[in-house]
Amino acid sequence: MPHPAESLLVRALHGERGTRPPVWFMRQAGRSLPEYRELRVGTRMLDACLTPDLAAEITLQPVRRHGVDAAVFFSDIVIPLRLAGVAVEIEPGRGPVFADPVRTAADVARLTAIDPAEVAANAEPVREAVRLVAAELAPAGTPVIGFAGAPFTLAAYLVEGGPSKEHLRARAMMHADPAAWHALAGWLAEVSRTFLTAQTDAGASAVQLFDSWAGSLSVADYREYVAPHSRAALDGAVVPAIHFGVGTAHLLPDMTLSTPTPDAAGAAPGVSGRVGPGGVVSCVGVDWRTPLDAAAGILGPDVTLQGNIDPALLQAPWPVLEAHVRDVVARGRAARAHILNLGHGVPPETDPTVLTRIVGFVKELGE
């Protein structure tokens, strides 16, 4: 029987290049699939995430439909906060909204008084859902990818009270009250680590840390206020880790979460961006803005790359999209290994047959 550890995806995360790149899609589970929309009728988003059989079925739907090389666990980055007892809801068309934003040192103290162990204590629905998925996929050796939000992105939601474009309050807190910021981000790192551990203990073969809003940060702020906490979120991970952010071309050398070499520390990104030893991630996700061969030149030979089909081109005529996918695959050969994905999540209006066609096309390339 095949084993997930021998899958194309896990081998790529360890730097092994196969006859073709493994392929999966961020947000492949959910909103673009009619079977998902039918299944979700009458169930709120966060409730669906915490109903084991429902979350498992949603996770499996795109594997059955598209034939992707991995299942990404269906959940939401705010689920560990819900498990910790934080009042949060997903507002349709808006996103996560918090009843009590965290904006002062007193707010931070109130929140961080919650023991992150509460997440583990309440995470049995998550573990059960992952177990169900892993058992279903075991005969094919298809891996499950667990995930969590990175501390900065979670903090941005908490401080703003919901989604925002520039995360001004979160970025202001870093400088206005560094002690409160580090207390908040440190607590969130523990929360994310606990959530990832619940998934890997239940059978996830890899994890991805999403730092969706890290692109709003300067290199200096990222290094001082964010990277140590993202590193802590992945500390002790027993499976390979992918690190992804949007608009992070200027942060690529730091996305490995290693300590930059002396010549890279003061250099402009892309001038001397090689990273030193000690990186805790196996793979860096690249959004659609940066060609993969350029990213490989910045990151060097010890990092697998993931990405980076432009989600907008999912709406293009097939010849245009096919040429784009060919180009992404070709540029990905510059890295030690490449996992084909989008440069961000699947847009909700995507025709799912297009995703299936991409998977089939990539598999043909391997033949």
pLDDT bracket for residue 268 (50, 70, 90): very low
In what side-by-side order are the strands of the sheet with 241-245? Answer: 71-72, 144-149, 206-211, 241-245, 283-285, 304-309, 338-342
Quick check: 4 and 13 in contact, CB under 8 A? no
What pLDDT does 1 receive? 85
What pLDDT does 276 receive? 33
253 pLDDT more than 70: yes
What pLDDT does 219 receive? 98
What pLDDT does 266 receive? 45
Does any domain span residue 140?
Answer: yes
Residue 310 a catalytic site member: no
Catalytic, out of 11, 31, 274, 289: 31
Does any domain span residue 126?
Answer: yes
Tokens 């961006």 identify what position? 273
CATH at residue 34: 3.20.20.210
Of residues 111, 123, 121, the one with CA closest to residue 151: 111
Residue 235 a catalytic site member: no
129 pLDDT more than 80: yes
DSSP string, 328-340: HHHHHTTSSSEEE
pLDDT bracket for residue 259 (50, 70, 90): low
pLDDT bracket for residue 280 (50, 70, 90): confident
Lowest mean pLDDT, pick from 22-26, 258-262, 321-325: 258-262
Does any domain span residue 322?
Answer: no
Q: Specify the number of domains making up the chain.
A: 1
What pLDDT does 353 receive? 98
Does any domain span residue 31?
Answer: yes
Backbone dihedral region for residue 353 (phi beyond 0: left; psi -120 to 50: alpha; all else: beta): alpha
What pLDDT does 264 receive? 45
What pLDDT does 269 receive? 37
Structure tokens, 261: 């070499």
Backbone dihedral region for residue 257 (phi beyond 0: left; psi -120 to 50: alpha; all else: beta): left
Catalytic, out of 69, 76, 211, 287: 76
Residue 351 a catalytic site member: no
191 pLDDT more than 90: yes
pLDDT in tens, 141-155: 999 999 999 999 999
Does any domain span residue 266?
Answer: yes
Catalytic, out of 157, 169, 193, 254: 157
365 pLDDT more than 60: yes
Catalytic, out of 17, 20, 40, 131: 40
221 pLDDT more than 60: yes
230 is in which domain, residue-wise?
24-303
CA–CA distance, 257 with 238 (Å, rounded to integer): 16
pLDDT bracket for residue 226 (50, 70, 90): very high
Does any domain span residue 364?
Answer: no
What pLDDT does 166 receive? 86
Residue 223 a catalytic site member: no
User: How many alpha carbons lie under 13 Å from residue 66 in its C-beta half-sphere?
Assistant: 32
pLDDT, mean over the chain: 93
Does any domain span residue 11?
Answer: no
pLDDT bracket for residue 260 (50, 70, 90): low
Residue 131 a catalytic site member: no
Does any domain span residue 57?
Answer: yes
Query: For the whole prediction, is pTM greater than 0.85?
Result: yes
Determine how β-strand 88-91 pairs with β-strand 95-98: antiparallel
| Amino acid letter, 304 | T
What pLDDT does 179 receive? 98
